[in-house]
Amino acid sequence: QQQVKQSPQSLIVQKGGISIINCAYENTAFDYFPWYQQFPGKGPALLIAIRPDVSEKKEGRFTISFNKSAKQFSLHIMDSQPGDSATYFCAATSNFGNEKLTFGTGTRLTIIP
């Protein structure tokens, strides 16, 4: 079964610090890697996504780093804020994003003052 492995399961970061969440995949056919953010009691929402033709994508304080040879990608949250406290899911799909998504197991991020 296609898998996306996500770590850590939970993460505590001080306000202003950098939060880093890592994902690894096995299927070399994957070609679209989104990150979803989920607040308690809510549905996930797309945060940022990357295709493997670039090694990095930045949107505001959120950056995806992508290492195609290692089959790994990570989410970096710069200047982490209490409002960033949420569960983050990485995901992967193939056919340029047109197949069903395979999700990681999630990381619960807590930003402390």
Residue placing its CB nearer to other proteins in the complex, 17 or 110: 110
9 binds other proteins (CB under 8 A): yes
Using the rule CB under 8 A, give the single segment among 13-21, 52-60, 75-83, 100-108 that binds other proteins: 100-108
- Determine the Cα–Cα distance for residues 40 and 111; give it in Å rounded to an integer: 14
**How many Cα neighbours within 13 Å face the side chain of 44?**
18
Classify 84 as helix, strand or coil. helix
52 binds other proteins (CB under 8 A): no
- Determine the Cα–Cα distance for residues 29 and 18; give it in Å rounded to an integer: 30
Residue 69 burial (C-beta neighbours within 10 Å; 0-12, 13-18, 19+): exposed
Residue placing its CB nearer to other proteins in the complex, 17 or 108: 108
Using CB under 8 A as the criterion, what x/- string covers residues 63-92 for binding other proteins? --------------------------x---
Task: Provide the binding-site residues for other proteins, judged by CB under 8 A.
Answer: 1, 6, 9, 32, 34, 41-46, 49, 89, 93, 95-101, 103-106
